[in-house]
Structure 1
């Protein structure tokens, strides 16, 4: 207490002395002016300049605030922040198949943002985030001092997360040499307004959902999927550090394009997390030793799973959304409204299908190139010229009325371009437009479709070998179906009451009624008599033709339409050899009817569509009602076809499934090859999954030159086999692998209880009656001797 009294007196004395000096300032100033008038004038001038500068700064700040350099967002605008959200396409197992967007962005609420991500962001971008009100003056002073006096620019710009959010929401404008200062001031005002309207957690939520991660990728959800194929909630500390590290300069620290820089930046983020106590130092030391371990998943129009399916879906969604309205009466925008489209596609089956197509088509293309040798794939130059005339580049030049010689000269000039080489492989070369047409004409393509016959749900859809270079979707392309049509012929014969064990002679016959038509077998072998099963599983053309004549071709065409084939089906005898054109979608529907024991499934692939908030706009899944499906075949009739086609992998044209690929599943199937082996088909199915595969070139003129290589058993069946081998190895699909056909009735078993083929002496065989239908003569297509 004794020490306190002198101290208090000392402080009081100091205050009294200061007040006395203030009181004497006017007298001191007068004395100074008399003694040093010019110095006093200078001091006054400096004071006036300082006041003027402060006033100018104040006026400048107020002009920015009042919108002299562009209006600042009002509180109402900031209260309703909205960004373009990508619409997401989901598989039935919850994986993201793709997005439709102007800006690739998805939204995630704060509760679903992992704490490790928040900690990494704060430690790296704004350590005092929870202490300031939008502007960190301490950080600004530090940056100013180190930049101006120590020439150290590594401290960054001193912007808080709130200021960065302001910059993200309202991109900077160009104001010439004053752009930086004006934009910074605008961001300060916006940041203060954001802090007044939102909590710190809400600002973090908005920031992490709007920030760019380069490659037209916005928001942490999309970034986590693109670079690590995961959801934000499953990000590990080192992965979160990579993504947060990108924010300093997204292009420079992109881990895909600049892995070295990204690794260095990641380690710096981890180090700062350790400094701020968010991670133990020992853990950080271990994490810094890890490689990046990216799982890059670009979901673009041409990249990612189910590219052809997503494009087909996009076109249908645009039409569908025109019928839907928001509460305000406006329509939904597929690219900006963040819709969630749930599909029936299974991402794992889709992957297996794409792998099977890529694996086999790579080998088949190599075989095709070796098979042709020095020959051109299109055989005739005139046919090649027709393709050139149909090309877009030729039509554009022809519209300018240029002579053909001039057009050819222009089309012969090489240009640098990227070309397709193999699945997942492209190359930049110098190539002329004509050479480009030649290059792409030489490729074989493929289509693949798998669906559940019980629900009609599509499980896998592969429209081609590469969407970037081959846009045409071969799931819906219409091609000659070859012998995959034959089960329809026999189904109609059974409906007509023809017994499955009614034998038909395998003879080469000329049908003079039909302009001397002489259908041949693919192997040119004849003899013996065949039951329906024998004729079907061995794909004997002569048996199919005679059966079609008994069942009546027009009636067969009508049944084909009932089974789901939508195009024109000629009601002529050659229908037995598959002269009709159909798509994979239609053929899977038809074979789905067999698998479904006579009920024609209605294929579907959209389950439902929701808003970002979870409101269901349309629910197609609940509308699927198999009880309303048309019963095209009686159950017994379908069972007979199924039982016959189950023998095809055992002793028919699909035997490769057993002896080469060791597939012992309970499967039914049928191969098919069109005229001149331009199209190869395989339809394989069980009661749980129906799969169709087509292989061929964009133009039928490009084909294998012999049946051994060009038949569906060689071109299409291996894709089905590769697919099923992967399914069998996945224990999650045990129900598909172990699916079995129901035991047929005793009556069906009895009807099929006969040898497939009986070999007899020639003289006896010639005495067998030959069935020739007495129908009106019709113009016939070219002889289809290659169909098998």
Structure 2
């Protein structure tokens, strides 16, 4: 039955009311939304960032250590953030970011209307609506998303307002840059630059397309899609490949390229930002101490307080070359692991291991002293715990993580008493290596030990040990300088005594040579090459101890605790590797001392120079003396203990130890090398100092306790303990021609008055080379006749 007019009119009236109600509700909704945004904008729901805050977001910027070759060596930070400019970002990283996170980024004004509508219509199942600008707003100014719907709506309104302000005040490129600088990629990688450094050991501009895609894929969830997590390998690969798909969808990559890249595995080159890990750990700790002192005296104009090493975004330009540092660490670790294995093997037959030649009471005293020097002892004393209770605790087994060359990552978990751990750690051999450019004083490599996490002590600068025969070039150069001696001058090597009372000697002093092979006549060059103590005694008697101490002081050695006694000729003085390398640099640099340089400049976060180093140089030796001393030391690598560097050592060639323990042998260096080995009493210290014209490198090896050492000189000498590290390091250095380390002869001074050609020398002096003005004296001549 047809509807009546009244029913039709009633239906029309109802529709009008519904439509009116809809528009009223719509108006109310829009009004409430407007009101919500107004209230949020007025700060009713909490303060919004003002103009200044938006211009200068409060971020803590890490101090960055940059090597001479432009690599990041490490950072000091509260948050490890290292900002980067848009121009330093590779285009494929930008394309991957926009394609994956915000396809319409370049077109919208911060809020993506289409994306928002899609997210609402499909309840987020077909993608979210957050733009890159919104994500930046979240990173800078909003709290963690609330689960409460009302609070979430309020948060969203604040976020949209901040987003619109960001879009008004910044360009699109600036927004992308800020977002990538702010995002936390985990593992102390805050910002894209830190992430590139830590996950791939690269600068952002060096990233490959695949590596950029991995980092972009982490933006969705840096924990779930973290390439360092072994358990997430498949998910990381899938997510990275989805980034490629998105790049194809946005015409930033071809299908063929995508298919090719999808076949690549996800590979990272993880470089921890932890202060105890990564490269140059000992150098960084030394640098940190220097920077703290520097910062105390320099005021940051922004804060009107001393510069904060961890938050002010300083850039420290250092002299270290990352390539050489890596080579040095590789050489050290390769040799020390094998050397330690040999030492441990020999200690199996030692009932008092790791100590040698100590009585039970002496060992007990050594252990007690080590206990009282330990961090555990200091902490417990600080808490007021009774000494008896502390001692008792050292004999209670406890869980601990210890260093172990054989373990994965060189450490393992175990259970032992703290006292046993002290003895365990005493068995380890330690080392120091420092490499310096003598013409500038720039330190190119610095390895202070075998593992900074477990062994904090820096053996480059802090450690002072007897120098052994590496001190002899100071004696020889003194004789050359004062007495104008030639390297070709000859002496008998018979036993020689400096009587009591002479040169401040308390009693007769008659040094011995290892092996006691006497009755030879040899040149000074041969005597130094073979470390003849008897001939060193003769030279010390001729020049006296004080001039040698004066020479050492001129070369930068701290002589405040060095006694002027004849035994100084054998290297009884305690010196640091740092001092020795700088001193040997004088010989390579024609007599000019350059104080070692670690920092070339310091910049603030805006690139303003705050510190520029000034070279500290001084002439301490005439060029002729320096050159002749170098000529003497060249004999060490030709006919002495350093001959192993040239691969012509029959002992090394036939030695099981060299075949099994020494890495990179034979070295087969053909160029001119000057050097000196050093071995101290009981084989407690092994040294090698090696020079080429533009690089001086010193190596020391030994245990912290001098009673822990090899029993025989065959294993405990500097030529076995330290020289192989030098050889392995330099073999790596020479393999990289871009380092431009010299293979040329040492530069000969003009108008050289001291003859270094021994054939010419003999012609000028007579057949025996002893019958003219440099005659050693009647007593020595008589000894020669007798011999």
- TM interval, short-chain normalised: 0.7 to 0.9
Tell me if 1:435 matches 2:420.
yes
> Which of 166, 169, 172 is matched with 2:140 structurally?
169
Alignment of 1:375-386 (within 5 A): 375=350, 376-379=353-356, 380-386=363-369
How big is the shift at 1:56? 6.7
> Which of 728, 735, 740 is matched with 2:734 structurally?
728
Distance 1:400 1:485, change over 3 A: same
Q: Which stretch shows the higher mean deviation, 123-132 or 478-487?
A: 123-132
How big is the shift at 1:359? 1.1
Distance in 1 (alpha carbons) for counterparts of 2:526 and 2:13: 125
1:583 is aligned to 576
> Which of 121, 128, 138 is matched with 2:97 structurally?
121
Tell me if 1:449 matches 2:434.
yes
Are the counterparts in 1 of residues 67 and 317 from structure 2 also a CA contact under 8 Å? yes
Alignment of 1:64-75 (within 5 A): 64-75=40-51
Distance in 2 (alpha carbons) for counterparts of 1:750 and 1:166: 74
> Which of 619, 622, 627 is matched with 1:634 structurally?
622
TM-score normalised over the length of structure 2? 0.85
2:657 is aligned to none
2:678 is aligned to 672
How big is the shift at 1:387? 1.0
Distance 1:639 1:163, change over 3 A: same
1:249 is aligned to 221
Are the counterparts in 1 of residues 441 and 597 from structure 2 also a CA contact under 8 Å? yes
How big is the shift at 1:77? 1.6
Q: Which stretch shows the higher mean deviation, 646-655 or 415-424?
A: 415-424
Tell me, what secondary structure is at the counterpart of 1:655?
Answer: helix
Q: Which stretch shows the higher mean deviation, 720-729 or 46-55?
A: 46-55
1:16 is aligned to none
Distance 1:677 1:180, change over 3 A: farther
Tell me, what secondary structure is at the counterpart of 2:483?
Answer: coil
Question: Could you list the per-position Cα deviations for residues 300-325 of structure 1 after superposition, in whole angstroms to 9, with x for gaps in the alignment?
Answer: 31223222112211221222233334
> Which of 230, 240, 246 is matched with 2:202 structurally?
230
Alignment of 1:32-431 (within 5 A): 61-147=37-123, 154-155=125-126, 157-172=128-143, 177=148, 180-257=152-229, 258-327=232-301, 329-375=304-350, 376-379=353-356, 380-399=363-382, 402=385, 406-422=389-405, 424-431=409-416
> Which of 466, 471, 480 is matched with 1:480 structurally?
466
How big is the shift at 1:582? 1.0
Tell me, what secondary structure is at the counterpart of 1:88?
Answer: strand
Are the counterparts in 2 of residues 530 and 543 from structure 1 also a CA contact under 8 Å? no
Q: Which stretch shows the higher mean deviation, 104-113 or 440-449?
A: 104-113
Distance in 1 (alpha carbons) for counterparts of 2:82 and 2:536: 56
Distance in 2 (alpha carbons) for counterparts of 1:536 and 1:117: 60
Distance in 2 (alpha carbons) for counterparts of 1:757 and 1:146: 101
Distance 1:69 1:468, change over 3 A: farther
Q: Which stretch shows the higher mean deviation, 205-214 or 529-538?
A: 529-538
How big is the shift at 1:580? 0.8
1:557 is aligned to 549
How big is the shift at 1:404? 5.4
Distance 1:121 1:45, change over 3 A: closer
How big is the shift at 1:26? 13
Alignment of 1:519-558 (within 5 A): 519-558=511-550
Are the counterparts in 2 of residues 592 and 600 from structure 1 also a CA contact under 8 Å? yes
TM-score normalised over the length of structure 1? 0.84
1:12 is aligned to none
Q: Is there any run of 5+ residues in structure 2 with no aligned partner, and where?
A: 1-5, 357-362, 649-665, 771-778
Tell me if 1:602 matches 2:595.
yes
2:562 is aligned to 569
1:646 is aligned to 634
Question: Could you list the per-position Cα deviations for residues 371-416 of structure 1 after superposition, in whole angstroms to 9, with x for gaps in the alignment?
Answer: 2115311342331222112112123334556565533442233443
Question: Could you list the per-position Cα deviations for residues 601-651 of structure 1 after superposition, in whole angstroms to 9, with x for gaps in the alignment?
Answer: 22212222223433322222xx337xxx33322222222211111111111
How big is the shift at 1:769? 9.2
Distance in 2 (alpha carbons) for counterparts of 1:184 and 1:638: 74
1:507 is aligned to 495
Are the counterparts in 1 of residues 471 and 569 from structure 2 also a CA contact under 8 Å? yes
Are the counterparts in 2 of residues 536 and 644 from structure 1 also a CA contact under 8 Å? yes
Q: Which stretch shows the higher mean deviation, 347-356 or 82-91?
A: 82-91
Question: Could you list the per-position Cα deviations for residues 99-131 of structure 1 after superposition, in whole angstroms to 9, with x for gaps in the alignment?
Answer: 222222222222332332222112211222233
Question: Could you list the per-position Cα deviations for residues 534-558 of structure 1 after superposition, in whole angstroms to 9, with x for gaps in the alignment?
Answer: 3322111222123212211122112
Q: Which stretch shows the higher mean deviation, 56-65 or 404-413?
A: 56-65
Q: Which stretch shows the higher mean deviation, 219-228 or 392-401?
A: 392-401
Distance in 2 (alpha carbons) for counterparts of 1:31 and 1:77: 50
> Which of 663, 669, 673 is matched with 2:669 structurally?
663
Q: Which stretch shows the higher mean deviation, 94-103 or 392-401?
A: 392-401
How big is the shift at 1:693? 0.6
Tell me if 1:624 matches 2:612.
no
Q: Which stretch shows the higher mean deviation, 510-519 or 603-612?
A: 510-519
Distance in 1 (alpha carbons) for counterparts of 2:745 and 2:481: 27
Are the counterparts in 2 of residues 653 and 671 from structure 1 also a CA contact under 8 Å? yes
Q: Which stretch shows the higher mean deviation, 57-66 or 275-284?
A: 57-66
Distance in 2 (alpha carbons) for counterparts of 1:346 and 1:724: 14
1:700 is aligned to 706
Distance 1:125 1:710, change over 3 A: same
Question: Could you list the per-position Cα deviations for residues 284-310 of structure 1 after superposition, in whole angstroms to 9, with x for gaps in the alignment?
Answer: 122112111322233431223222112
Are the counterparts in 2 of residues 505 and 543 from structure 1 also a CA contact under 8 Å? yes
Distance 1:46 1:688, change over 3 A: closer
How big is the shift at 1:175? 6.4
Question: Could you list the per-position Cα deviations for residues 417-443 of structure 1 after superposition, in whole angstroms to 9, with x for gaps in the alignment?
Answer: 332222952223334322332232211
How big is the shift at 1:723? 1.1
> Which of 706, 712, 717 is matched with 1:711 structurally?
717
Distance in 1 (alpha carbons) for counterparts of 2:196 and 2:399: 35
1:467 is aligned to 452
Distance 1:142 1:561, change over 3 A: same
Are the counterparts in 2 of residues 505 and 768 from structure 1 also a CA contact under 8 Å? no
Distance in 1 (alpha carbons) for counterparts of 2:692 and 2:220: 55
Q: Which stretch shows the higher mean deviation, 412-421 or 443-452?
A: 412-421
How big is the shift at 1:136? 2.5
Are the counterparts in 2 of residues 97 and 299 from structure 1 also a CA contact under 8 Å? no
Distance 1:651 1:474, change over 3 A: same
Are the counterparts in 1 of residues 99 and 250 from structure 2 also a CA contact under 8 Å? yes
Tell me, what secondary structure is at the counterpart of 2:755?
Answer: helix
Distance in 1 (alpha carbons) for counterparts of 2:16 and 2:21: 18
Distance in 2 (alpha carbons) for counterparts of 1:757 and 1:181: 99
How big is the shift at 1:483? 0.9
1:13 is aligned to none
Distance in 1 (alpha carbons) for counterparts of 2:378 and 2:61: 39
2:652 is aligned to none
Question: Could you list the per-position Cα deviations for residues 561-589 of structure 1 after superposition, in whole angstroms to 9, with x for gaps in the alignment?
Answer: 11110142211111111111111111112
Q: How many residues align?
A: 726
Distance in 1 (alpha carbons) for counterparts of 2:57 and 2:175: 11
Question: Could you list the per-position Cα deviations for residues 701-747 of structure 1 after superposition, in whole angstroms to 9, with x for gaps in the alignment?
Answer: 32222221111111011111111111222222455233544278664
